[in-house]
Amino acid sequence: MRKFSLASLVAMFIAGGCAIEEVTLNSQQVLDASQAAEWRKIDADSLLVMTLPAGQVVIELADEFAPAHTRNIRTLVANHYFDDSRVVRVQDNYVVQWGDPDADTSNARSLGEVSNTLSGEYFRPLAGLNFIALDSRDAYAKRVGFVENFPVGTDGKRAWLTHCYAMVGVGRDNAADSGNGSSLYVVSGHAPRHLDRNVTLVGRVVAGMEYLTSLPRGSGPLGFYETPSEQTPILRLQAAADLPEDKQPSVEMLRTNSKSFEHWVRARRSRTEDWFIEPGQAIGICNVPLPVRANP
Amino acid sequence: MRKFSLASLVAMFIAGGCAIEEVTLNSQQVLDASQAAEWRKIDADSLLVMTLPAGQVVIELADEFAPAHTRNIRTLVANHYFDDSRVVRVQDNYVVQWGDPDADTSNARSLGEVSNTLSGEYFRPLAGLNFIALDSRDAYAKRVGFVENFPVGTDGKRAWLTHCYAMVGVGRDNAADSGNGSSLYVVSGHAPRHLDRNVTLVGRVVAGMEYLTSLPRGSGPLGFYETPSEQTPILRLQAAADLPEDKQPSVEMLRTNSKSFEHWVRARRSRTEDWFIEPGQAIGICNVPLPVRANP
């Protein structure tokens, strides 16, 4: 029943700088064999730390795709806008959303120097990006791949972040410029790719998703909580760079332009673990786990 | 910015048996306009009701795809095998699994007349199925579509249920025949389609997913709980047909071979709601919500 001819992967690894070893690696072995230089330590300037009662959520910002929105978010964070804010919405198999629970009332928090409206950053030119293509038939985009450790779709000219699990976006009303970064959400279910190019994505949760995804679902329309007492407090949302050095999360990502990442994708596409009977020889853009080493 | 030429859908509806109306319908309007005959009431013989402390989970069995496994499961249910069993595993963005927490010990519950091993029902012939194709580029299968209200992949000869959100499968060890229906899981994250044709899928949760997906994640390997006290009790798992008539869940599904389902898919593919700026004109097999009217 097992189809080793297809399933087995022969990866070439240069060990010790001279010996060449031919080995069949599964995904764990790929990580074990990776080199230190293949990992990218995420700069503290690109990390936010959101503290919930249950634990910490670490977010990497995607400045290359949404520079104006990430600038707004950094300003709001510096002004403590999100401290003592709330998770206001948990829609099963969709998104978890947070921000000022009184945003739509006369008690709304001040946005300070941040403008209430901001043009959507729904896509950008593909040119100028280090796009690593993924060989995959995608329902939504002509081509898919990665830029650094973010999943990306492209039509050959425009490029956009894709709504995979853990991607963070900016809530907005109907107007294209009605988002500003004060209301944020994270994808918590099967990728809602119909949102691609309709919402500004600003980053990705790289640690602590489980503190958001295990929250009780909201019983109101779209999963909004119906009473304030159901909302989960966000104690603080801080820039990692503003934390004492020993409290800063250390997050490393396997570079998507590394040999080990190439082997990682191959191993995930053609599973060689004994458990698999008929490995699928296929992979979707939102099914590629992006290897992360985090110590929050 | 809005592209009405592409986004607008003109659906033809025959109203009152004679008048022909031309209307642009969004997905909610499609449901509102659907006819009673387009809905399929699921027979109580095909429904299981799992009672957790927080609420009821309703499962529809897929006899056409896994007749031997669904037979096993019905026997185990009739023998109260799952009553006072446990949710033993909650792996974030993957699966929730339940069964006898002592299955691997000398205290394991008796399977009664159910055999410990059973050949996997990983696929079946496409012939004989009422397959409704979905126009979608899929990373994992040559063609995708629906059989009744289950998502299906096919290579033109074989057909298999796909691991979309809420699909229920049979846990197994490495051997292909090591599953028997006594350990069940449900897909709770982005579709793990690499499991297609490697595990026997037996049905789908049609109501109550939120009681499983909001459980605390397990901290052990693969999301297994490390202590019995973390496990969630399953009070009862019963056949709907064995419940008093007034306690039986009433579940209706929009038939996938109905005109309204065709319009539903079109409306989900090309969103006409004002909120959308650039509707994607695309849809994935696991992104088609299967309309259900349930009164558990």
Q: CB–CB of B240/B249 below 8 Å?
A: yes
Q: Is the pLDDT of residue B52 over 90?
A: yes
Q: What is the DSSP letter of A218?
A: P
Q: Which residues of A touch B271 (CB under 8 A)?
A: 194
Q: Look at B165 and A192 and tell me if their CB atoms are within 8 Å.
A: no
Q: Which residues of B touch A286 (CB under 8 A)?
A: 190
Give the lowest-confidence range in A86-100, B21-35, B191-205.
B21-35
| Dihedral, CA of residue B11, residue B13, residue B18 and residue B19, to nearest 10 | -60
Looking up tokens 């031309």 gives B22
Q: Look at B93 and A213 and tell me if their CB atoms are within 8 Å.
A: yes
Q: What is the DSSP letter of A38?
A: G
Chain centroid offset of residue B33 CA: 25
Residue B7 backbone zone (phi > 0: left; psi -120 to 50: alpha; other: beta): alpha
Looking up tokens 């994270």 gives A186
Q: CB–CB of A108/A182 below 8 Å?
A: no
Q: Look at A139 and B140 and tell me if their CB atoms are within 8 Å.
A: no
pLDDT of B295: 75
Q: Look at B138 and A140 and tell me if their CB atoms are within 8 Å.
A: no
pLDDT of A44: 96
User: Is residue A231 helix, strand or coil?
Assistant: coil
pLDDT of A296: 59
Q: Which residues of B touch A276 (CB under 8 A)?
A: 198
Q: Which residues of A touch B120 (CB under 8 A)?
A: 277
Q: CB–CB of A266/A134 below 8 Å?
A: no
Q: CB–CB of B202/B73 below 8 Å?
A: yes
Can you give the three-state secondary structure of chain B, one letter per residue? CCCHHHHCCCEEEEECCCEEEEECCCHHHHHHHCCHHHEEECCHHHEEEEEECCEEEEEEECCCCCHHHHHHHHHHHHCCCCCCEEEEEECCCCEEEEECCCCCCCCCCCCCCCCCCCCCCCCEECCCCCEEEECCCCCCCCEEEEECCEEEEECCCEEEECCCCCEEEECCCCCCCCCCCCEEEEECCCCCHHHCCCCCEEEEEEECHHHHHCCCCCCCHHHECCCHHHCEEECEEEEHHHCCHHHCCEEEEECCCCHHHHHHHHHHHCCCCCCCCCCCCCCCHHHCCCCEEEEC
Q: CB–CB of A38/A261 below 8 Å?
A: yes
**Nearest residue to B213 via CA among B222, B205, B221, B203:** B205
Pair of tokens at residue A108: 């709304």
Return the higher-pLDDT residue of A20 and B42. B42
Pair of tokens at residue A233: 């407090």
Residue A92 backbone zone (phi > 0: left; psi -120 to 50: alpha; other: beta): beta
Q: What is the pLDDT of residues B70-109, one digit of tens each?
A: 999 999 999 999 999 999 999 999 999 999 999 999 999 9
Q: What is the pLDDT of residues B260-285, one digit of tens each?
A: 999 999 999 999 899 999 998 999 99
Q: Which residue of B has its CA nearest to A200?
A: B277
Exposure string of A130-142, with b = 16+ CB inside 10 Å and e = fewer, is ebbebebebbbbe
Mutate to test the interface with A, among B275, B281, B285, B290 (most CBs of A within 10 A): B275
Mutate to test the interface with B, among A210, A230, A271, A285 (most CBs of B within 10 A): A210
A190, A194, A283 member nearest B190 (Cβ): A190
Q: Which residue of B has its CA nearest to A286?
A: B190
**Nearest residue to A114 via CA among A74, A60, A85:** A74
B173, B216, B277 member nearest A198 (Cβ): B277
Q: Look at A210 and B217 and tell me if their CB atoms are within 8 Å.
A: yes
Name the average pLDDT for chain B: 92
Q: Would you tell me how many other CB atoms lie within 10 Å of the CB of residue B141?
A: 24
Beta bridge partners of A134: A144
Percentage above 90 pLDDT, chain B:
89
Pair of tokens at residue A41: 């330590």
**Nearest residue to B229 via CA among B102, B108, B99, B88:** B88
Q: Would you tell me how many other CB atoms lie within 10 Å of the CB of residue B248?
A: 18
**Nearest residue to A94 via CA among A224, A227, A289:** A224
Q: CB–CB of B177/B120 below 8 Å?
A: yes
A213, A275, A282 member nearest B140 (Cβ): A282
Q: CB–CB of B169/B160 below 8 Å?
A: no
Residues of chain A with pLDDT below 50 are 1-22
Q: Look at B139 and A283 and tell me if their CB atoms are within 8 Å.
A: yes
Residue B74 backbone zone (phi > 0: left; psi -120 to 50: alpha; other: beta): alpha
Q: Look at B210 and A122 and tell me if their CB atoms are within 8 Å.
A: no
Q: Which residues of B touch A194 (CB under 8 A)?
A: 268, 271, 279-280, 282-283, 287
Structure confidence at residue B23 as a pLDDT band (50, 70, 90): low
Q: Would you tell me how many other CB atoms lie within 10 Å of the CB of residue A143?
A: 18
Q: Look at B139 and A136 and tell me if their CB atoms are within 8 Å.
A: yes
Q: CB–CB of A164/A285 below 8 Å?
A: yes
Q: Look at B282 and A92 and tell me if their CB atoms are within 8 Å.
A: no
ipTM above 0.85, yes or no: yes
Q: Which residues of A touch B92 (CB under 8 A)?
A: 209-210, 213-214
* pTM (predicted TM-score): 0.92
CA angle, corner B79, sides to B75 and B81, nearest 5? 95
Q: Which residue of A has its CA nearest to B269?
A: A194
What are the distances in angstroms from CA B185 to CA A38, B170, B239, B285? Answer: 36, 6, 18, 20
Distance from C-alpha of A224 to C-alpha of A245, rounded to nearest angstrom: 36
Q: Which residues of A touch B90 (CB under 8 A)?
A: 214
Name the average pLDDT for chain A: 92
Q: Would you tell me how many other CB atoms lie within 10 Å of the CB of residue B199?
A: 23
Q: What is the pLDDT of residues B138-175, one digit of tens each?
A: 999 999 999 999 999 999 999 999 999 999 999 999 99
CB pairs under 8 A between A and B: 135
Structure confidence at residue B67 as a pLDDT band (50, 70, 90): very high
Q: Which residues of B touch A140 (CB under 8 A)?
A: 280, 282, 284
**Nearest residue to B284 via CA among A121, A90, A285:** A285
Q: Look at A193 and B139 and tell me if their CB atoms are within 8 Å.
A: no
pLDDT of A23: 54
Q: Which residues of B touch A1 (CB under 8 A)?
A: 176
Decide: residue B259, CB within 10 A, 0-12 exposed, 13-18 middle, 19+ buried. middle
Mutate to test the interface with B, among A194, A225, A232 (most CBs of B within 10 A): A194
Pair of tokens at residue B151: 């998502």
